[in-house]
């Protein structure tokens, strides 16, 4: 481990867990942003989330939509939500980060030689800045249940597949069994859901989020 003042660099989740396990055990508030459920296995202890809630822990997690298309991961999200965790979905790019009690920030880095690096930050000024970024992402994200309901209502996965195929709207509408106007309205609503200003941008964001 390399330490530079209030910034600690670690390699791999084993070392990260060794260095921070006591912080997770004592934490009463955890905020987490991740692209999927694999980055932060250190943040998923074997003890049920129910026990964490009994301890009065506040848990907030932001994920990208790709997690909803893996049945096992989606089920895991539903379980931890049932035990009190608040979960939101965002299509925007996010920095994979964990914040503990607004005092410690853990930021995931790139993989080097198959091992991922992590930065543990305790500097109050830096942590406050990272917390502010998380809060902005949190307020811009959509509640898990609302996102799932809206996505299913639009038939978003099927629409994205039609857009990716490059077929004409008339052909796509026939394939989905809807009228042309209905199809175009759903495409427009999907673009709004993805925060996209064009079909090309919608496709790009869907690919970035793992939806295609």
pLDDT recorded at residue 2 = 45
pLDDT digits (tens, 9 = 90+) for 19-57: 888 888 888 999 999 877 667 765 554 444 444 443 568
Distance CA 23, CA 27 (A): 6
pLDDT digits (tens, 9 = 90+) for 131-165: 999 999 999 998 988 877 777 776 777 888 888 88
pLDDT digits (tens, 9 = 90+) for 169-191: 999 898 888 899 998 988 888 88
CATH topology of domain 2-142: Endonuclease; Chain A (3.30.870)
CATH class assigned to 155-208 = mainly alpha
Q: Are 63 and 74 in contact (CB under 8 A)?
A: no
Give CA torsion, residues 185, 186, 189, 195, to 10 deg: -120
More confident position, 111 or 38 = 111
Mean of pLDDT values over 94-120? 90
- Return the domain boundaries, the chain: 2-142, 155-208
More confident position, 205 or 200 = 200
**Sign of the CA dihedral running 149, 187, 73, 45:** negative
Residue with token string 């990260």 = 16
pLDDT recorded at residue 51 = 43
Three-class DSSP category at 69: helix
Distance CA 197, CA 192 (A): 8
Three-class DSSP category at 56: coil
Stated pTM of the model: 0.69
Q: How far is CA 199 from CA 12, 113, 187, in A?
A: 39, 37, 8
Confidence of residue 1 (pLDDT cuts 50, 70, 90): very low
For residue 73, what are the contacts with CB-CB under 8 A and spacing of at least 6? Answer: 36, 37, 67
């Amino acid at each position: 481990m390399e330490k530079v003042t209030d910034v600690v660099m670690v390699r791999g989740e084993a070392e990260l867990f060794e260095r921070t396990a006591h912080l997770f055990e004592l934490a009463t508030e955890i905020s987490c942003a991740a692209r999927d459920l694999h980055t932060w296995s250190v943040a998923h202890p074997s003890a049920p989330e129910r026990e964490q809630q009994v301890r009065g822990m506040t848990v907030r997690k932001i994920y990208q939509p790709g997690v909803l298309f893996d049945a096992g991961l989606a089920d895991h999200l539903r379980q931890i939500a049932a035990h009190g965790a608040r979960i939101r979905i965002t299509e925007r790019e996010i920095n994979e980060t964990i914040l503990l009690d607004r005092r410690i920030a853990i930021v995931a880095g790139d993989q080097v030689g198959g091992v991922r690096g992590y930065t543990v930050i305790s500097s109050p000024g830096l942590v406050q800045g990272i917390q502010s970024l998380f809060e902005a992402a949190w307020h811009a994200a959509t509640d898990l249940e609302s996102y799932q309901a809206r996505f299913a209502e639009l038939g978003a996965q099927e629409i994205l597949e039609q857009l990716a195929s490059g077929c004409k709207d008339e052909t796509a509408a026939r394939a989905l069994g809807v009228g042309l106007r209905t199809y175009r309205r759903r495409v427009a609503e999907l673009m709004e859901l993805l925060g996209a200003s064009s079909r090309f941008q919608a496709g790009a964001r869907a690919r970035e989020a793992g939806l295609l």
